Chain A
Amino acid sequence: MTSEDVERLLIQFQDENGEVLGSPFDVPLDITPDKLQLVCNALLQKEEPVPLAFFVRGEAEVVSSLGSCIQTLGVETEQVLPVVYQPQAVFRVRAVTRCTSTLQGHTEAVISTAFSPTGKYLASGSGDTTVRFWDLTTETPHHTARGHNHWVLSIAWSPDGKKLASGCKNSQICLWDPVTGTQIGKTLTGHTKWITWLCWEPLHLNPECRYLASSSKDGSVRIWDTVLGRYEKILTGHTQSVTCVKWGGDGLLYTSSQDRTVKVWRPKDGVLCRTLQGHAHWVNTLALSTDYVLRTGAFEPATATINPQDLTGSLDEIKETALQRYNKVRGSAPERLVSGSDDFTLFLWNPAEDKKPLARMTGHSALVNEVLFSPDTRLLASASFDKSIKIWDGRTGKYLMSLRGHVGSVYQVAWSADSRLLVSGSSDSTLKVWDIKTGKLNMDLPGHADEVYAVDWSPDGQRVASGGKDKCLRIWRR
């Protein structure tokens, strides 16, 4: 005998910032997420239905049915229950499963690898002092850029994808043209010790992609004018090596250093705005919530095609699209900054406003090597030398889950463009693809012969590139 009267419940849809949508709804307890999605889309009145994820009271996700979720939470069914809806990415990135090619050519370990913002070009820097460009359609070498005389430590694509900057251990910075593989302009010298990080000015602030910030072990940060080939400003203030520099979308520059501080600067006049203190050991890495959208600039991953294309349009159009994308991702709240350190903890900051951290995230048992916000800024991944990756909430810093599986220190992580998958490279020579929704290992990608030093996921979601100590660059596809 089937019972016809299923318990009913009053729910109120809310978006992430707390604004309510419509009036409270009466729904049966066994409603599934699909039906909730239909209702919510109808309320949102958009042209195309957007896939949504629902969280009861903002905490527990509704997976199978509302009833099971409420049972686990133990919530009273008398009051109106707030249900937060989060729009997910419309497109879905498929997990990479196989290694399609091993690109040999470097004669020393591959230290850094990066896809261009549209995903058309791939560049890799190595210990043999060259930067190599690879053709992705045929997966063969394209150009070899020679010009450095020591290991190429960091590379950075300009947000319009037309230039690549590379910094080496002899403190030189060179700019390359990916189409011809030749050097643009002259070598930028000025730092006294090796370059630790390079970061371009965001596209929506300057569509010409003219200014580049570089941080070095000598404790200074220089802002270079790539057109004139000389430095604009030097930002000194750190007493030890600067490990990371990030150019924020609001026109502030963030730097982290081994002197345990994070400093906030205004690049226009080179003034130090704020010093964020709190860490007890070297600060290794920084991540901005808007990192992904600043990196891709005017390219929208949802419009990606099988063959990646260059950005088209005049400078103004590109600037407009980049600005729109940036504002959408940023939302109403200012940018958030996360710093990971050798003291095994991470700090979540609101650097534009506050000197005090928003949250301190502890839990790792070894130093944190890299932190990365997901492209939709909701999640935060931290890779550590204790062989685990921890996922935290991007807004509050609350701990969500641990991804265990690696048997060696995890060196780098990369998010897929839809924020559903995460790939990590480690010193145990494997890459692992993790599914964030379930928190489980999706795919194990062995194949490298030695430690994996650099990992990157292309912005169109089709390929993952990884390079390591075995001098090979591997491309992985579905």
Chain B
Amino acid sequence: MDHHERKRKKESREAHERSHKARKMIGLKAKLYHKQRHAEKIQMKKTIKMHEQRKTKQKDDDKTPEGAVPAYLLDREGQSRAKVLSNMIKQKRKEKAGKWEVPLPKVRAQGETEVLKVIRTGKRQKKAWKRMVTKVCFVGDGFTRKPPKYERFIRPMGLRFKKAHVTHPELKATFCLPILGVKKNPSSPLYTTLGVITKGTVIEVNVSELGLVTQGGKVIWGKYAQVTNNPENDGCINAVLLV
């Protein structure tokens, strides 16, 4: 019995094992499992239905599609008026609540142990009040360190970045723009003040390169962007512009 045989047989046993587990599980564990499984099954049913539809649907060459629009409206999605009104109401509610629409609404919160590394100091290496940031961070132009003896948070020079690769979501073009500052880090306000950039952080970038202009004729030179990758793993900061 070689590897392929064994693999095949194991995979075919999976269905039986899964059903055995589902039957035998009790308590809170079972509740959680069943909830998850229910959601999975719904998704599966949806995809199966979609595939079925694709098989039976035939392209009707004779009929021209409805909804003729002029050339200047073709690449734009027309919002129906009812949707526009309810969007306005939703926007007002969000403004009241203080929540903003960003491309990545939920990000994994990074704990202190992950972001900060304990640095031991002292003659006997017993004091443990210093921390070193292990993630990419941004420090401003006029940044000077505190005297090293009193520095609590160390931001290594190798992890300091000044530029980010920002993508414009509609134009689908990416520009390398200088960072102006860190606006908000979703994990903790402490990281915002330190300038730590992790996935989901909202940063402010210098967009004077793009040549955008406001209604009054003033050139826009700063815009927000949200980071979309893990910069400490990739060595660069990729972000998407918030328009």
Contacts and interface: CB of A to CB of B under 8 A. Distances in A.
Bound pair (A, B): yes
A203 B20 CA distance: 84
A108 B213 contact: no
A375 interface: no
A258 interface: yes
Contacts of B75: 217, 241, 258, 282
Contacts of A128: 64, 68
Contacts of B143: none
Contacts of A210: none
A330 interface: no
A154 B71 contact: yes
Given A112-B70, A154-B71, A194-B71, A149 B213 contact: no
A127 interface: yes
B167 to A, nearest CB: 15
B64 A369 contact: no
Contacts of B66: 108, 127
Interface centre among B66, B68, B213, B216 (most CB of A within 10 A): B68
A176 interface: no
Contacts of A362: 213-217
Q: Is the contact region of chain A dominated by helix, strand, or loop, or is it mixed?
A: loop
A454 B211 contact: no
A243 B72 CA distance: 8
Contact of A111 (B69, B215, B216): B69
A126 B170 CA distance: 29
A365 B213 CA distance: 10
B190 interface: no
B64 A153 contact: no
B205 to A, nearest CB: 15
B113 to A, nearest CB: 44
Interface string A172-197: 00000000000000000000001111
Contacts of B215: 344, 362-365
Nearest to A345: B213
B210 to A, nearest CB: 5
A196 B71 CA distance: 6
Interface string A210-251: 000000010000000000000000000000010100000000
A360 B213 contact: yes
Contacts of A194: 71, 74
A373 interface: no
A43 interface: no
Given A278-B211, A280-B212, A345-B213, A126 B70 contact: no
A360 B211 CA distance: 11
Contact of A151 (B68, B170, B171, B212): B68
Given A150-B64, A280-B212, A343-B212, A109 B72 contact: no
Interface string A432-462: 0000000000000000000001100000000
A110 to B, nearest CB: 9
A416 to B, nearest CB: 22
Nearest to B171: A281
Contact of A363 (B67, B212, B217): B217
A151 B211 contact: no
A289 interface: no
Interface in B72-95: 72-75
A411 interface: yes
A111 B213 contact: no
A281 B211 CA distance: 9
Interface centre among A153, A195, A278, A280 (most CB of B within 10 A): A280
Nearest to B74: A194
Nearest to A367: B76
Contacts of A280: 210-213
A129 interface: yes
Nearest to A279: B211
A151 B72 contact: no
Contact of B68 (A111, A243, A360, A364): A111
Nearest to A150: B64
Contacts of A158: none
A413 to B, nearest CB: 13
Contact of B64 (A149, A196, A241, A282): A149
A284 interface: yes
A153 B211 contact: no
Interface in A277-310: 278-282, 284-285
A25 B210 CA distance: 52
Given A278-B211, A363-B215, A411-B70, 9 more contacts: A109-B68, A112-B70, A127-B69, A217-B75, A280-B211, A280-B212, A344-B213, A364-B215, A411-B72
25 contacts: A108-B64, A111-B69, A111-B70, A112-B70, A126-B68, A127-B67, A149-B64, A151-B69, A153-B71, A153-B74, A217-B74, A217-B75, A241-B75, A243-B72, A258-B75, A260-B171, A280-B210, A282-B75, A284-B72, A344-B213, A344-B215, A363-B215, A364-B215, A411-B72, A453-B73
